[in-house]
Amino acid sequence: MDILALLRSFYAENDIKPVVPESREDVKAEAEAEGYFFSIRVFEDGSANVIFKDNVITFERRAFESFDKDCFCDDEHELFIRRKKALCRELYELFREDTGRELPWGMMNGVRPTKPAFICALEGRGKHEAADFYRNEYLVTDEKIESSWDIGVAEVNVLAQCEHRDMSRPGDVRGYTGGYSLYIGIPFCPTRCLYCSFTAYPLSSVKDGGDGYVDALIRELKDCTDIFPGRAPDSIYMGGGTPTSLSPAQLDRILSVVEDRYFTGPDIEFTVEAGRADSITADKLKVLKDHGISRISVNPQTFNHKTLDIIGRKASADETVNAFNLARDMGFDNINMDLILGLPGEGEEEVRHTMEIVKSLKPDSLTVHSLALKRASAMGEWLEKNGYGAITNTDRIQEIARSGAQEIGLKPYYLYRQKDMSGGFENIGYSLPGKECVYNVAMMEEVQSILGFGAGTITKCVRAKEEAANEASSLAEIIADGRSLRQDITRCENYKDVKDYTERVSELIERKKNLFMV
């Protein structure tokens, strides 16, 4: 998969399909007819046979002998992983020479590319150690090294604002590592967007209008208050799906329980994704306001009408503008907007049009996503059927979004990537100073426990490790085993299917409690 990610990043304009033994016969036949743009066979000893544009290239086992000698590793699996990384480096150089370009993130394809910078900033290791790691281990460009350091420092500063209070012991205040956050999942939407891979169902498909789901969610929320008794969370995030697909009464029921059982108040960041304009009404915003929701999202994804029709978002660009202005008029002073770059048919002109509207609205934060073609979404099949070919996402398009955010005072504060992301780019969150989302940083850097409630959510238990990190360890070793953060992470997942979730919520409650038992 690492090699496939390199290919798709260097040759984003090509519709690259992986051919493996389990591939469909039509895909195999097409690849054979085209003569295989690229093929590779890797052997257990680290050698490889590569066919690239009709050229046969052999990477012999002996090419890695000096590498093996220097890495001091006697674990065969680990040695194979390191040899594969060395092979990826050779292929990276081959693709770079062939295309005349380099990838912004080099060979990095993980979810958290800013993790090395975050660790160095957190531990006081300094910018130079982070830069050397990025440059030498993964061939990352200087521009991304610089932005990674800025974001790593920003994340540390955001987390430093957390004060975990034990409500049963006044005056007991700890930093973010002593706290936890909540994620509340609402798996309903007005309709399902073409690119979506999340747990989301049209609310119209649920016979009781979602009441049964709300009942189960409230039960889960109430029965799990003893996991962190008397302790308020650092942040709460209600996402989905689209939470405002629910009725005002349903939202009020859920938020009343959260407010009562989890000590929410003006000092606790509470985000609700209002998301789609076709789900936003004054009555629903009033419910959010009455419960002290401090941060909401109004997400256009794009302000181009043609694209909205293609991806299945029924609200028009004008309706999204109206919804945003309604929220402002009702007093919401921390509003996020989400955009997606790389949507079908969108180039520089379309992105520039979207950014002009964003700049006129001046959101308090902006999350710019690069489209990722997920297996669970219908986008890939649709693109092929409708002849769009590869999606467009370029450095210039990224710069249009980046400069637009900067023009209204927004600065980057967190970043992550996904598999099969268009152009090999990233998702990046921008914010006005002081409007950063604590939950986004805590979740992305996995520095505190997250209680996940609702269908399709994941609960993470983060515990401090007993053993301390070896300060003499290299950054590569530290990142490999997570010792720098001195934590162990265990997880449990809720069922994605709404019916399974509602019928087996008792089982999920016990599973969650057992996860946190010492």
CB 489 within 8 A of CB 459: no
Is residue 387 predicted with pLDDT exceeding 80?
Answer: no
66 shares its domain with 111: no
The answer to whether position 356 is within a domain reads yes
65 shares its domain with 120: no
How far apart are the C-alpha atoms of 175 and 178, rounded to whole Å?
6
The answer to whether position 40 is within a domain reads yes
What range defines the domain where residue 61 resides?
1-101
177 versus 280: the higher-pLDDT residue is 280
Q: What is the pLDDT of residues 310-348, one digit of tens each?
A: 887 888 899 999 999 999 999 999 999 999 998 888 889
**Range list of H helices, 11-138:** 25-34, 65-71, 76-99, 115-123, 127-138
11 shares its domain with 90: yes
Give the model's confidence band at 472: pLDDT under 50 very low, under 70 low, under 90 confident, else very high: low
pTM of the complete model: 0.85
Our count of domains for the chain comes to 3
Is residue 266 predicted with pLDDT exceeding 80?
Answer: no
Domain boundary residue, one of 434, 459, 476: 434
Give the model's confidence band at 481: pLDDT under 50 very low, under 70 low, under 90 confident, else very high: low
61 shares its domain with 109: no
Tell me what pLDDT residue 240 has. 86
How far are the Cα atoms of 46, 78, 296 from residue 73, in angstroms, in the given order? 14, 7, 49
53 shares its domain with 139: no
53 shares its domain with 115: no
CB 237 within 8 A of CB 439: yes
The answer to whether position 400 is within a domain reads yes
Is residue 209 predicted with pLDDT exceeding 50?
Answer: yes
Taking all residues of the chain, what is their mean pLDDT, rounded to a whole number? 84
Domain boundary residue, one of 434, 458, 485: 434
21 shares its domain with 95: yes
The answer to whether position 97 is within a domain reads yes
- The set of residues, in sequence order, having a beta carbon less than 8 Å from that of 430 and lying 6+ positions away, is 365, 366, 367, 368, 405, 410, 411, 412, 413
The answer to whether position 238 is within a domain reads no
115 shares its domain with 89: no
Domain boundary residue, one of 384, 408, 434: 434
Q: What is the pLDDT of residues 145-192, one digit of tens each?
A: 999 999 999 999 998 877 554 434 443 334 566 689 999 999 998 777
Q: What is the pLDDT of residues 212-236, one digit of tens each?
A: 999 999 999 999 999 998 888 999 9
372 shares its domain with 399: yes
358 shares its domain with 423: yes
The answer to whether position 312 is within a domain reads no
Q: 234 by DSSP, 3-state: which?
A: coil
How far are the Cα atoms of 150, 441, 459, 462 from residue 409, in angstroms, in the given order? 15, 20, 34, 34
54 shares its domain with 125: no
How far apart are the C-alpha atoms of 86 and 68, rounded to whole Å?
10
The answer to whether position 416 is within a domain reads yes
The answer to whether position 165 is within a domain reads no
Structure tokens at 74: 């006697």
Tell me what pLDDT residue 351 has. 96
35 shares its domain with 62: yes
Structure tokens at 429: 């969150």
Give percent of the chain with pLDDT exceeding 70.
81
Beta bridge pairs of residue 416: 427
Q: What is the pLDDT of residues 49-76, one digit of tens each?
A: 888 887 888 876 544 444 444 444 555 6
Q: What is the mean pLDDT of residues 399-406?
A: 96
Q: What is the pLDDT of residues 114-140, one digit of tens each?
A: 999 999 998 888 999 999 999 998 999
Pairing relationship of beta strands 458-464 and 411-416 according to DSSP bridges: unpaired
